[in-house]
Chains A and B, each alone.
Chain A
Amino acid sequence: MLTRSRTRGLLRQAGTIAVTLLGLLVLTFAIGRLMPADPVRAIVGEEATQDTYMQVYQELGLDRPLPMQFLMYLRDVLTGDFGTSIRTGQPVLNDILTVMPATLELATLAILIGATLGITLGVIAAVKKDRWQDQVIRVFSLMGHSMPIFWTGMIALLIFYAALGWVGGGGRMEDYFIGLVPEVTNFILIDAALAGEWEVFWSALNHLILPASLLGYSSSAYITRMTRSFMLDQINQEYITTARVKGLSVRQTIWRHAFLNIRVQLVTIVALAYGALLEGAVLIETVFSWPGFGQYLTSNLMIGDMNAVMTCVLLVGVIFIALNLLSDVLYRVFDPRTR
């Protein structure tokens, strides 16, 4: 039902998003112009003559005033032209379409693991507050929070790959499978399933599970702590007593009443944790030779490949705007008072 106030709310939200996007574009543009990297030199190389240099300088529009340059940048972005990466020689968009699915696969499985683990443990910790279960969970999540991921990554590889052989090692699948399935979406799991190559599928899953579990464990630490405190707020509410008076067991009361009331808050923190994972987990990607977004962004930063860096920053911003929007929508689904 679209009431007038509802329409106004939607319009206001759309306006906010537009302004945020514009601000984001200003920021990425500024990064491109302020970074101490010379885009012309990066293209023409150190040996080029002054004439070549000036020619490229003009082709890039760098001789125009800054506002003009910004408008040109806007036009390019809006038409889907993000420039060419100097490092790979490919359009940046193509590069990102290759690396992002790898990160998406990893981050999505990681957040599924992290949220399931974190929410379950958080609820248990709240229900068993100050008992031994709470203490054990506290230590467990503190460890997840404080152990550096590159270290746990290497230890886990040593144990589960080198010693036990339960999982695959680095990379997204066994080397001899590479190139076997046509790259349709660049999500290995989906591509393998589409091609019906189940061996590839299992190999990919086998390579995915360890880094995803480690990332999930690491993000579950925060989710656990927050879930516990959200849950404690609810457990002391009077409606919990009502549910108990009706004859519901503790477990029924928790899942049918208290939990429904923390979903809204959980959505926010899980969305933020997911955003942080999508930004790319550079450390774990390095340890597991994962060709993902984090690695791509870092290596381009190192060599000053500005087109790629600007686009990556833009993408991270868009991801966060999208996740915020998603949690706003879920708020309305989960809480009748916001409708």
Chain B
Amino acid sequence: MDTILDIQNLTVHYRGSPAPAVRGVSFQLGRERLGIVGESGSGKSTVGRAILKLLPSADITADKMQFQDTDLLALPEKRMLEVRGKRISMILQDPKFSLNPIRKVGDQVAEAWRVHMKCSAAEAKAKALQMLSAVAIRDVERVYDLYPHQVSGGMGQRIMIAMMLLTEPELVIADEPTSALDVTVRMQVLSILDGLVRDRGIGLVVISHDLNLVRNFCDRVLIMYAGRVVETLKASELDRAQHPYTRGLLAAQPRIGGPRQPLPVLQRRPEWAEEART
């Protein structure tokens, strides 16, 4: 497999907190779509931000954090600025909060280009307009001049995708990319993201608590519990999960037409968090 990202034994410890939020997480990523699933507080978002080294209040340690030819762990902040947004980018959860409320959305997209490329404002704007049409926005000239409060959630998230894919990064981390959206526009946004990622051969990490989304959308799934990866599976084989926590998550999902019985309560055993995983 053509490995883009190789993480070995990643541990993230927020300063002032008694226990690390992420402990000994290891995984490799190729040109594929990897899902990271877990409940709130399991450390899945922290993994995403640790890859970008965007955790000012935490200590990040690992045996290895290799991104292509770049050793992220040893990379000084100044060089990290050239990686962020250009080679690795991240789609955040809710466009209502993740877009700057007082700047035109188009300018915010164009900025992603201008930070990294030496070019005129007009060139960046042209690039941004082109990318906005690529995420299925009509009338891009008009949308470019809108402010975040003037666009819908679905459009906001497509703008976010445009902003983060503009520089053609090799790796994109999508942190709950559709959780804040109405169910009706989720599929649309996901299929746009999927299309762009496939076309460009981008490695994608999808962080989500939605098992079905990850099952349908990803190639492989990491299940996280209490800061650890408890199981790694092919998405198609999710039903054959071995770990009792994963089985518990699957069992806790209601099914249309299923038996009308109370759903089982999810078990959380402390020893699962202590098990060493390979």
Of the candidate stretches B36-44, B89-97, B128-136, B266-274, the one touching chain A is B89-97
Q: Chain A residues with Cβ under 8 A from B163's Cβ?
A: 242, 246
Closest Cβ of chain A to B119, distance in Å, is 15
What is the CB-to-nearest-CB distance from A300 to chain B, in angstroms, rounded to a whole number?
46
Of the candidates B85, B103, B116, the one whose C-beta lies within 8 Å of that of A245 is: B85
Q: Which of A238, A257, A261 touches B92 (beta carbons < 8 Å)?
A: A238
Q: Does A244 have its Cβ within 8 Å of any Cβ on chain B? A: yes
- A63 contacts partner chain B, Cβ-Cβ < 8 Å: no
| Chain B contacts for A249, CB-based, 8 A | 81
B84-A242 in contact (CB<8A)? no
B100 and A245 within 8 A (CB): no
Interface status of A265 (Cβ within 8 A of chain B): no
Q: Judge whether B164 is part of the interface by a CB distance below 8 angstroms.
A: yes
Q: Could you tell me if A247 and B84 are in contact, using CB atoms closer than 8 angstroms? A: yes
CB neighbours of A261 from chain B (8 A): 100-102
Question: Which residues of the partner chain B approach A336 to less than 8 Å between Cβ atoms?
Answer: 101-102, 147, 149
| B92–A242 touching, CB < 8 Å | yes
Task: Give complex CA distance A71, B102 in Å.
Answer: 47
In the complex, the answer to whether B89 meets A246 with C-beta atoms within 8 Å is yes
- The reply on B98 being an interface residue by CB < 8 A is yes
Question: Is A334's CB under 8 angstroms from B116's CB?
Answer: no
Which residues from chain A contact B97 at a C-beta distance below 8 Å?
237-239
Give complex CA distance A335, B89 in Å: 28
> Chain A residues with Cβ under 8 A from B86's Cβ?
247
- Complexed CA–CA distance, A184 and B92 (Å): 60
| Residue from B82, B102, B108, B147 within 8 A of A334 (CB atoms) | B102
> Given A242-B92, A337-B149, do A247 and B99 touch, yes or no (CB 8 Å)?
no
Chain B, interface residues (CB within 8 Å), range = 20 to 34
**CB within 8 Å of B: which of A208-264?**
237-239, 241-249, 252, 256-257, 260-261
Q: Is the CB of B54 within 8 A of A241?
A: yes
> Which A residues are CB-close (under 8 A) to B100?
239, 242-243, 257, 260-261
Which residues from chain A contact B147 at a C-beta distance below 8 Å? 336-337
A242 to B147 CA separation, bound complex (whole angstroms): 16
Interface residues of B in 35-73 (CB under 8 A from A): 52, 54
B252 at the A interface (CB under 8 A): no
| Interface flag for B111 (CB, 8 Å) | yes
- If A246-B84, A246-B163 touch, whether A238 touches B149 (CB-CB below 8 Å) is no
Nearest to A252 among chain B residues (CB) is B115
Rounded to whole angstroms, the CA-CA distance of A257 and B94 in the bound complex is 18
Smallest Cβ-Cβ distance to A243: which chain B residue: B100
Q: Closest CB of chain A to B237's CB: distance in Å?
A: 32
Least CB separation from B94: chain A residue: A238
> Which residues of the partner chain B approach A247 to less than 8 Å between Cβ atoms?
81-86, 112, 115-116
Decide: A244 and B54 in contact? CB cutoff 8 A. yes
Which residues in window 318-339 of A have CB below 8 A to B? 334-337
Which residues of chain B from 130 to 173 have any CB-CB distance to chain A below 8 Å in the complex? 147, 149, 160, 163-164
Q: Is the CB of B98 within 8 A of A244?
A: no
- Rounded to whole Å, the gap between the CB of A130 and the closest CB of chain B is 11
Tell me the minimal C-beta distance from B50 to chain A in angstroms.
13
Task: Using CB atoms, name the residue of chain A closest to B160.
Answer: A242
CB proximity of B23 to chain A, nearest CB, Å: 23
Query: What residues on B are CB-neighbors of A245 within 8 Å?
Result: 52, 54, 84-85, 89-90, 92, 164
Pairwise interchain contact B164-A239, C-beta atoms closer than 8 A? no
A279 CB to closest chain B CB, in angstroms?
A: 32
Q: For the complex, give the distance between the alpha carbons of A336 and B108 in Å.
A: 15
Decide: B85 and A260 in contact? CB cutoff 8 A: no
Cβ contacts under 8 Å, B160 to chain A: 242
A249 to B82, CA, bound (A): 10
Per-residue CB contact flags for chain A residues 290-326 toward chain B (1 = under 8 Å, else 0) read: 0000000000000000000000000000000000000
Q: In the complex, are the beta carbons of B92 and A241 less than 8 A apart? A: yes
- Bound complex: CA of A257 vs CA of B112, how far in Å? 13
Closest to A239 in B: B100
Q: Which residue among A238, A241, A242, A335 has the maximum number of chain B CB atoms within 10 Å of its CB? A: A242
Shortest CB–CB separation between residue A207 and chain B, in angstroms?
41
CB contacts (< 8 Å) of B101 on chain A: these are 239, 261, 336-337
The answer on a CB contact under 8 Å between A238 and B98 is: yes
Q: Is the CB of A246 within 8 A of B112?
A: yes
- Say whether A239 contacts B98, CB under 8 Å: yes
**Chain B positions within 8 Å of A248 at CB level:** 81, 85, 111, 115
List residues of chain B with CB within 8 A of the CB of A239.
97-101
A239 to B86, CA, bound (A): 18
CA distance A237 to B98 in the complex (A): 8
Q: A235 to B133: give the CA distance in the assembly, Å.
A: 31
Chain A residue contacts of B82, Cβ below 8 A: 247
- Give complex CA distance A256, B202 in Å: 29
Contacts of B54 in A (CB 8 A): 241, 244-245
Query: When A and B form their complex, which 5 residue pairs have the shortest distance between CB atoms, in order from nearest?
Result: A247-B85, A238-B97, A246-B85, A247-B84, A336-B147
* Known pairs A257-B100, A257-B103 / 4 extra A-B pairs, C-beta < 8 Å: A238-B98, A245-B164, A246-B115, A246-B164
11 contacts between A and B (CB under 8 A): A242-B163, A244-B84, A246-B163, A246-B164, A247-B85, A247-B112, A249-B81, A260-B102, A336-B102, A337-B101, A337-B147
Query: Which residues of B pack against A, CB within 8 Å?
Result: 52, 54, 81-86, 89-90, 92-94, 97-103, 108, 111-112, 115-116, 147, 149, 160, 163-164
